[in-house]
Amino acid sequence: MNLNYIKPNEWKIVEEGFDKDNVTASESLFSLGNGAMGQRANFEETYSGETFQGSYIGGIYYPDKTRVGWWKNGYPEYFAKVLNAPNWIGIDISVKGKELDMSQCKIIEFNRELDMKEGVLNRTFVAELEGGDTVKVKSTRFLSMKLNEVGAIKYSVTPINFDGEISFSPYIDAGIMNEDANYDEFFWEILDSREDRNEAYILSKTLKTEFHVCTGMKIEMTLNDLLIDIEREVSRSEKKIRYTYKSEMKSGDTLTMFKYGGYVQSMNHPKRELFNASRRSLEEAAEIGYDDLYQSQKEAWATIWDTADITIEGDISAQQAIRFNIFQLNQTYSGDDSRLNIGPKGFTGEKYGGSTYWDTEAYCIPFYMSTKNKEVARNLLLYRYNQLGKAIENAEKLGFKNGAALYPMVTMNGEECHNEWEITFEEIHRNGAMIYAIYNYVNYTGDLEYIVSHGMEVMIAVARFWSQRSSFSSEKKKYVILGVTGPNEYENNVNNNWYTNYLAQWCLKYALENLDLIKKSHPKEYERILDKTGLEADEAHHWREVVKDLYFPFSEKHEVFLQQDGFLDKELIPADKLPRSERPINQKWSWDRILRSPYIKQADVLQGMYFFENHFSLGQIEKHFDFYEPLTVHESSLSPCVHSIMACALGREEKAYEMYLRTSRLDLDDYNHEVHEGLHITSMAGTWLSIVQGFGGMRNFEGKLSFNPIIPKNWESYSFKIKYRGHTIKVFKNHEGCKFYNESDSPIDIVVKGQEVKIFNQDLVVI
């Protein structure tokens, strides 16, 4: 595959010239989504070359129970698979009876653009078919932000050098399989279908989970921009409905199809209403009309960009990259449905099962909280609050008692649905991230009531888990936490992972503090919480014991906390001494070799120091950064951003910029040779953090919003906006200094480079 084939452009992702080797990568990079559904950038017309066809619907999954070899006691009942959904975009084209297939034609021109400003995918190409007949094709497609069950396609064909019959065959196909299915298992059952007057609908349901989905299409056609009525031929099988419209065309004529399509599903409609709901949604789209729907798309994205945009002057490639990240995050999650969450690959691939990970709490919440509003962040917290019961059940399965909760590592509905013991059972630090997210939200928004109304219950359940999960070592005379996997998944089943222990201790302290606070400030609510959770005094007493006597591995010699017990027994050779041919190690080395090596997949001790920067001196942070960063191979997409932010805080501008590039263009430049599998959506929030918390130096410790902006040498300027407690603040930085605009009606106190500053509405403060 050719790396770096994407052309630089401030607002667009651009591919010029057709290269079959790039097709699957581009299908990922040009993906579309509207928060409720999404799809890879597959061609509408037939493509017989290598392709990865994928359409996905938010919340819809399949509980796969395939087993191999050995199954550990306590394993989840199923592994959640994100399901490839029916295809509604397909339009087969034939030219004088020959199928148009880019893989089989001579492609004279090819241009594909993802217009991030407008939220639209454009493609134009000129193809010469066998025999020399040449056609020009133009397709525009978007998934409506206004009507989130609808997508629209405008697809035009113009014969260039011949007169003859062109036929358009749009279809819906509910017979789509997953790439990762064993034995070609089909995860859907087709229930019924209807078709009438250029509209077709297929009702299907997922096996086992029984999500019902109605897939629909509605067709309109124009010849040279005039509406025409062509008789359709209908070809109908159980899983597929296909129309064919034939037209005799003159050279230079343009035949255009408007195809409205999409899904309605049973999470949002009664099952028996789905046919009607689907018809209504497409009729609404058609009544609005293609052009006006397009207009509404532009407006919706303009609203998003108004606060979410980050500008970078002087580095077009960096500008393109940051917008790409922000665009994809907004395509994946719109924040208005607390049943949905942010899958690591969003709607762009099957991997990671489309499920929810701790990525949301650790990386995504700050992005949505700052660029949308606190309700969106609150919805993400409520997602976990609503699943507390399942988290308690999950902990019970593992032998915990008395209302202790262990949130799942991977979930669709609150149940654990991952099946590696070293992750599912041992990567328990995620439980701490749930509490960190509450702290982060409350700290940022000031919404203390959330703790009283919801957060405290979660904190108690998680504190119970940590207190039961630590055990007393007679040898060390300390509490220890044995058998865990830290954020660095290149270590499994280690003892006393510092990050996990630190987070555990903090969760216990934070729960105790908040219990005290609520007791004083909300005595009635306090009683309700005690009542509901059954919390006893001796529990809190034990929590205090664990807080006091928890063990943290430390090296006197290196003056650093150790990632885990025994870390210094490894051969501590810096990662840059490894031959290039052995990188990335997760593709070149066997698992045991990785495990006994010192190499760190993603920030682990440093992740803790990032979360709790205010607990450590800059000197301490620097020692740890210098010890761990050289051993870090950044083979998780979530790694470079944290290092970039810390490097900024330490004034290591060059390292910060190096790490920033890795995070921001991870997918566009395909650093890890895997973009064809889908995009790294959750890490895109990390890229945003790299600018706002990294270069921008934004912090929010002890109730004060502060900034400490620096700028990479080769940028002229950058700017970003954040929403903060009812204010919208724009930060601009160039090599002369920085400016702060307060776009809101009331003044706000901020700290810039250690100085307190009050900025009034529409005020411009230059420092």
Question: Which residues form the interface with its own copies (CB under 8 A)?
Answer: 64, 66-70, 72-75, 79, 182-183, 185, 397-399, 418-422, 425-426, 471-476, 480, 482-483, 492-495, 565-566, 568-572, 586-593, 595-596
CB of 602 to its own copies, least distance (A): 17
CB of 568 to its own copies, least distance (A): 4
Q: Tokens for 686?
A: 């990390």
Contact predicate 457/381, CB 8 Å: no
Decide: residue 565, CB within 10 A, 0-12 exposed, 13-18 middle, 19+ buried.
middle
Q: Which is nearer to its own copies, 11 or 589 (CB)?
A: 589
CB of 67 to its own copies, least distance (A): 7
Q: Tokens for 584?
A: 């990335």
Nearest to 499 by CA among 407, 608, 424: 608
Q: What is the CA radius of gyration of the chain?
A: 27
- DSSP, collapsed to helix, strand or coil, labels residue 200 as strand
Q: Which is nearer to its own copies, 358 or 741 (CB)?
A: 358
DSSP secondary structure letter of residue 690: I
- DSSP, collapsed to helix, strand or coil, labels residue 632 as strand
CB of 635 to its own copies, least distance (A): 11
Q: Tokens for 85?
A: 């959904």
Nearest to 611 by CA among 438, 405, 402, 401: 438
Q: Which is nearer to its own copies, 461 or 661 (CB)?
A: 461
Q: Which is nearer to its own copies, 298 or 570 (CB)?
A: 570
Residues whose CB falls within 8 Å of the CB of residue 212, separated by 6 or more in sequence, listed in order: 191, 203, 204, 205, 265, 266, 271, 274
DSSP secondary structure letter of residue 7: B
CB of 233 to its own copies, least distance (A): 37
Nearest to 121 by CA among 98, 140, 99, 95: 140
CB of 495 to its own copies, least distance (A): 5
CA angle (29 as vertex; 25, 32 as ends), nearest 5: 130
Angstrom distance (rounded) from CA 608 to CA 561: 11
Phi-psi region of 184 (alpha: psi -120 to 50; beta: other; left: phi over 0): left
Q: Which is nearer to its own copies, 40 or 418 (CB)?
A: 418
Out of 45, 195, 489, 539, the active site residue is 489
How far is it between the farthest Cα atoms of the chain?
Answer: 90
Residues whose CB falls within 8 Å of the CB of residue 88, separated by 6 or more in sequence, listed in order: 55, 151, 172, 215, 216, 217, 259, 261, 262, 263
Q: Which is nearer to its own copies, 577 or 713 (CB)?
A: 577
Residues whose CB falls within 8 Å of the CB of residue 37, separated by 6 or more in sequence, listed in order: 55, 56, 57, 58, 85, 143, 148, 149, 151, 262, 263, 347
CB of 171 to its own copies, least distance (A): 29
CB of 16 to its own copies, least distance (A): 35
Contact predicate 22/303, CB 8 Å: no
Partners of 733 in beta bridges: 718, 738
Residues whose CB falls within 8 Å of the CB of residue 483, separated by 6 or more in sequence, listed in order: 426, 493, 494, 495
CB of 577 to its own copies, least distance (A): 15
Ordered DSSP codes for 431-489: HHHHHHHHHHHHHHH--THHIIIIIHHHHHHHHHHHHHH-EEETTTTEEE--SB--S-T
- DSSP, collapsed to helix, strand or coil, labels residue 625 as helix
Ordered DSSP codes for 500-533: HHHHHHHHHHHHHHHHHHHHHH-HHHHHHHHHHH
> What are phi and psi for residue 537, nearest 5 degrees?
-60, -40
CB of 397 to its own copies, least distance (A): 7
Q: Is the omega angle on the peptide bond into residue 584 within 30 degrees of 0, that is, cis?
A: yes
- DSSP, collapsed to helix, strand or coil, labels residue 605 as helix
Q: Which is nearer to its own copies, 164 or 483 (CB)?
A: 483
Q: Which is nearer to its own copies, 4 or 587 (CB)?
A: 587
The yes-or-no answer on residue 489 being catalytic is yes
Q: Which is nearer to its own copies, 260 or 479 (CB)?
A: 479
Q: Which is nearer to its own copies, 70 or 577 (CB)?
A: 70
Nearest to 113 by CA among 262, 13, 213, 243: 13
CB of 202 to its own copies, least distance (A): 25
Q: Which is nearer to its own copies, 270 or 566 (CB)?
A: 566
> What are the catalytic residues?
489
